[in-house]
A and B are shown apart, each in its own frame.
Chain A
Amino acid sequence: MSNLVTNIAGIEFKNPVLTASGTFGYGVEFADFIDLNRLGGFIVKGTTLHPRQGNAYPRLAETPSGMINAVGLQNKGVQYFIDHIYPQLKDYKTNVIVNLSGSCVEDYVTGAEMLNQLDKIPCIELNISCPNVKAGGMGFGTQPKMAEEVVNKVRAVYNKPIIVKLTPNVTSIAEIAKAVEAAGADSVSLINTVLAMAVDAEKQRPILSTVTGGMSGAAVKPIALRCVWQVYNAVQIPIIGLGGIMNATDAIEMMLCGARAIEVGTANFIDPAVTMSIIDGIDSYLERHGCKNVSEIVGALKI
């Protein structure tokens, strides 16, 4: 057994394997398949200040080695989370992280203020990168000034660590990462989904109700690796890598590029127990390579 304990912004994770927001519900949906307490942590689905119905059906297109979704942050709002979900999650012996999204700065701030009251939530993941929400979400994550503003204002009201989730749909993700680091982010997670589109040639129509959506799955891993590597070379704060991780080898590749922890997303749909085999796979990789601590492979890419 190698030491898998990972530290991000003062929070201890028993291993570097987390689950990505929007692919893992509130965690409890997976309790039949895995011991949630074995996870480094899990990130509950994207939550906004006010409830959202999300986009119209159809919301899904399958692509080679991937999928495109157009869910649009359907959720019941922060207050619902506090009243109904938090009590079910607070006693898990793992890090339960809330992914907070918004369509204006005020909503992020109010939501963060409310979440700040929750003792058992050690940090939030600020989603400034959802491609499926009009007038917001990704809008904040594509311009350094706006990214800085929202992180700054949330920083002022939220006392625990803030992870900022970044979009790959920009010219320079390193520039955005630097902007949120300067604004007080404690960590960045990347990548959110890749803006994409699917067409039905026979019907001559888009497959998704929103025409475009966010692509995830194995197909986006090379993009994610590139982004993690670029950001690793641009900022000092720890990086959580995600995007197309399907197995332990994918997770290790992400860590070699500089991710201190990783999130498993779409792979949960194909194998609801995949996180367990990723934890075990990282452990056996470390042993095979004579590493005592998982931190030894973070950014260890030989160039």
Chain B
Amino acid sequence: MKKYISDFKVVENSRLTERLFLLKLEPADGTQIQEIHAGQFVEVRVDDEPKVFLRRPISVHRVDKEKNQLWLLVQIAGNGTRKLSELSTSDKLNLVYPLGNGFTLSKGKILLIGGGVGIAPLLETGAALKEVGAEVFFLLGARTATDLVELNLYQQIGTVYVTTEDGSRIEGLDCQKGFVTNHSVLQSGKFDGLKICGPMPMMKSVASLVKDWTEMQSKERFCEVSLENKMACGLGVCLCCVEDTKEGHKCVCSEGPVFDVKDLKW
């Protein structure tokens, strides 16, 4: 896929929780957003922040084709993301995109498992899966109920299940206490595919839970995970973000960020 360097304009910047904010962007020159696969990411240049030198890789949360908007759901993790959280409407933002491979899309019952800000790429992925005829389910985990944002948008795409570590509940949802691996839908459910994005321990524990499932052996790319190793270029040239796979070091930015869990040394 051809990659672009483009200026975008901030249409909206809304703070959803203490640490999460949602940026809605549109191309500054009014042109159409280039095609982006679900699970791909953008590299955002952070200007006027001396402590930030490199671009910040951020997954694509949603592409609103009707409004020609690109949404980024971002968690404040350091100086770069803090600077982005302070952007105002009509500020410019320079993006390199689309980057990485994205999730594979197929029909059947697909469970999308997200934790923390890892839920971000799953909205676009759920929408893309639904478009190809999949039945979409979300299992979203958080420390506490108020950390779970935009649930109504996920519900428009598929059935939403939730876990909270503190046991706080969300009305109208199957909300269980603990980690995503404790939720009965994952433990009992029969799915044709899993897509996971979240903190490393979460992704590893789901991977280990499903390791012996027969589907893992019988289906290609049954369980896909999206990694977020620290990266610089985003283009597969600096070789900093490598993951040690069964076929050697692979660049998360260009050969990922989505990997078949069977290819990883987990």
Number of A-B contacts (CB under 8 A): 94
Which 8 A-B pairs have CB atoms at the shortest separation, nearest pair first?
A: A25-B237, A60-B240, A269-B233, A32-B3, A59-B240, A71-B239, A269-B232, A60-B230
B18-57 vs A, CB cutoff 8 Å, 1 = contact: the mask equals 0000000000000000000000000001000011111100
In the complex, how many angstroms separate the beta carbon of A8 from the nearest chain B beta carbon? 24
| List of B residues within 8 angstroms of A30 by Cβ | 235, 237
Stretch at the interface among A62-70, A79-87, A180-188, A288-296: A62-70
A-facing residues in B226-244 (Cβ within 8 Å):
229-244
Stretch at the interface among A50-58, A88-96, A107-115, A135-143: A50-58
Given A62-B54, A67-B54: A74 and B239 within 8 A (CB)?
yes
SS class, residues of chain B in contact with chain A: loop
Check: B5 CB closer than 8 A to any chain A CB. Answer: yes
User: How many A residues face the partner with a CB closer than 8 A?
Assistant: 34
Interchain CA distance A33-B232 in the complex, whole Å: 17
Interchain CA distance A108-B52 in the complex, whole Å: 38
Check: B266 CB closer than 8 A to any chain A CB. Answer: no
- Cβ-closest chain A residue relative to B1: A32
Given A25-B237, A54-B249: A62 and B53 within 8 A (CB)?
yes
When the two chains form their complex, are residues B233 and A268 in contact, meaning their CB atoms are under 8 A apart? Answer: yes
When the two chains form their complex, are residues A56 and B230 in contact, meaning their CB atoms are under 8 A apart? Answer: no
Interchain CA distance A60-B242 in the complex, whole Å: 10
When the two chains form their complex, are residues B5 and A271 in contact, meaning their CB atoms are under 8 A apart? Answer: yes
SS class, residues of chain A in contact with chain B: loop
A-facing residues in B203-244 (Cβ within 8 Å):
229-244
A-B contact pairs, 20 of them (CB 8 A): A23-B238, A24-B237, A25-B236, A29-B235, A29-B236, A32-B4, A33-B5, A59-B239, A59-B241, A60-B231, A60-B238, A60-B240, A63-B53, A69-B240, A71-B238, A71-B239, A266-B232, A268-B237, A270-B55, A272-B3
Check: B96 CB closer than 8 A to any chain A CB. Answer: yes
Interchain CA distance A45-B238 in the complex, whole Å: 9
- Cβ-closest chain B residue relative to A217: B53
Check: A273 CB closer than 8 A to any chain B CB. Answer: yes
Check: A218 CB closer than 8 A to any chain B CB. Answer: yes
When the two chains form their complex, are residues A45 and B237 in contact, meaning their CB atoms are under 8 A apart? Answer: yes
Check: B67 CB closer than 8 A to any chain A CB. Answer: no
| List of A residues within 8 angstroms of B248 by Cβ | 53
- Taking residues whose C-beta sits less than 8 angstroms from the other chain, chain B's interface range is 20 to 34
Check: A22 CB closer than 8 A to any chain B CB. Answer: yes
Given A32-B2, A33-B3: A74 and B242 within 8 A (CB)?
yes
- Cβ-closest chain B residue relative to A70: B240
Interchain CA distance A80-B25 in the complex, whole Å: 42
- Cβ-closest chain A residue relative to B78: A62
Given A54-B239, A69-B238, A74-B249: A218 and B53 within 8 A (CB)?
yes
A-facing residues in B124-168 (Cβ within 8 Å):
none
In the complex, how many angstroms separate the beta carbon of B227 from the nearest chain A beta carbon? 10
Given A71-B238, A270-B45: A57 and B53 within 8 A (CB)?
no
In the complex, how many angstroms separate the beta carbon of A274 from the nearest chain B beta carbon? 10
In the complex, how many angstroms separate the beta carbon of B92 from the nearest chain A beta carbon? 14
Interchain CA distance A266-B238 in the complex, whole Å: 9
Given A60-B231, A71-B239, A268-B233, 19 other A-B residues pairs in contact with their CB atoms under 8 A: A29-B235, A32-B2, A45-B239, A53-B248, A53-B249, A57-B229, A57-B244, A58-B230, A59-B239, A59-B240, A60-B230, A60-B241, A67-B54, A69-B240, A74-B242, A271-B5, A272-B3, A272-B235, A273-B5
B-facing residues in A83-138 (Cβ within 8 Å):
none
- Cβ-closest chain A residue relative to B51: A64
| List of A residues within 8 angstroms of B2 by Cβ | 32
- Cβ-closest chain A residue relative to B55: A270
When the two chains form their complex, are residues B238 and A269 in contact, meaning their CB atoms are under 8 A apart? Answer: yes
| List of A residues within 8 angstroms of B244 by Cβ | 56-57
Interchain CA distance A60-B253 in the complex, whole Å: 14
- Cβ-closest chain B residue relative to A45: B237
When the two chains form their complex, are residues A29 and B240 in contact, meaning their CB atoms are under 8 A apart? Answer: no
| List of B residues within 8 angstroms of A62 by Cβ | 52-54
- Cβ-closest chain B residue relative to A30: B235
| List of A residues within 8 angstroms of B233 by Cβ | 23, 268-269
| List of B residues within 8 angstroms of A217 by Cβ | 53
| List of A residues within 8 angstroms of B249 by Cβ | 53-54, 57, 74
In the complex, how many angstroms separate the beta carbon of A176 from the nearest chain B beta carbon? 26
Interchain CA distance A149-B103 in the complex, whole Å: 51
In the complex, how many angstroms separate the beta carbon of A212 from the nearest chain B beta carbon? 15
When the two chains form their complex, are residues A272 and B240 in contact, meaning their CB atoms are under 8 A apart? Answer: no
In the complex, how many angstroms separate the beta carbon of B219 from the nearest chain A beta carbon? 28
In the complex, how many angstroms separate the beta carbon of B178 from the nearest chain A beta carbon? 27
Given A63-B53, A270-B53: A29 and B4 within 8 A (CB)?
no
B-facing residues in A255-303 (Cβ within 8 Å):
266, 268-273
| List of A residues within 8 angstroms of B238 by Cβ | 22-23, 60, 69, 71, 269
Most chain B beta carbons < 10 A, residue from A56, A66, A269: A269
